[in-house]
Amino acid sequence: MIGTIPAKPLLYSWISVSLIGPVFFVRFDGNTGRNPFVPDVDRAAKLRQLANDPKGKRSDRARAVCALFREYIKPGDGLQEVRRALGDAAWLEEARLSYFAYVSGSIPIDFKFEDRTYSLHLFADNDGHSEWVIYFQLSGKSDWAKYNKDAIAFLRGKPGPKVETRIKEFALCHPDGEYEIFRGK
């Protein structure tokens, strides 16, 4: 009887490159063939499509938005990087944005009066509640009473009165009570 031995999937392939000098090691995902250190544009497009789909499951859409933040936005990013990551962010129409003029209690990011701090409740119910929340801080101040308008413009990658605005830090809060904090240096 002739049989075959099933091959185990290769998780990672390591390639070393040396051209008379330093040795560089590059890791490639053996299952997809992509370099995990280079942003996957197709994945970002799929995540944006899922987040923007009003017929999609709420939790799937919220996970997609969180994945866009986690994988494609980093503290210090400005309008161009945020626009590249989030696209037109049509899902913002179904979110509830709140500006913190002051904080009484605790939030998972720093609160500084010289910056703007927000909470973004993803796909909030009729009472404005959501178990998926993104806290974020933008650099600088907004004009009086334009805090939310400026934040929405920034998330859509559109310049507001503060063109130099950058995202300073953010936290992704999940329904299970876990959260991920992303801070600059």
* Pairing of the two strands 116-121 and 12-18: unpaired
Q: Find the Cα–Cα–Cα–Cα dihedral 75, 30, 46, 64, rounded to 10°.
A: -50
Closest CA relative to residue 131, chosen from 87, 89, 96, 162:
96
Q: How confident is the model at residue 25 (pLDDT cuts 50, 70, 90)?
A: very low
What gap in Å lies between CA 97 and CA 119, rounded to an integer? 6
The pLDDT > 70 percentage for the chain reads 73
The count of other CB atoms within 10 Å of the CB of residue 125 is: 11
What gap in Å lies between CA 117 and CA 111, rounded to an integer? 6
pLDDT tens sequence across 52-69: 999 999 999 999 999 999
pLDDT tens sequence across 104-144: 677 888 888 888 899 999 998 888 789 999 999 998 877 76
| Least confident stretch, 36-40, 105-109, 129-133, 175-179 | 36-40
Q: At residue 12, does pLDDT exceed 60?
A: no
Q: At residue 16, does pLDDT exceed 60?
A: no
Q: At residue 32, does pLDDT exceed 50?
A: no
Q: How confident is the model at residue 93 (pLDDT cuts 50, 70, 90)?
A: very high
Could you tell me the pTM of the whole model? 0.75
What gap in Å lies between CA 78 and CA 171, rounded to an integer? 17
Whose structure tokens read 């063939």? 33
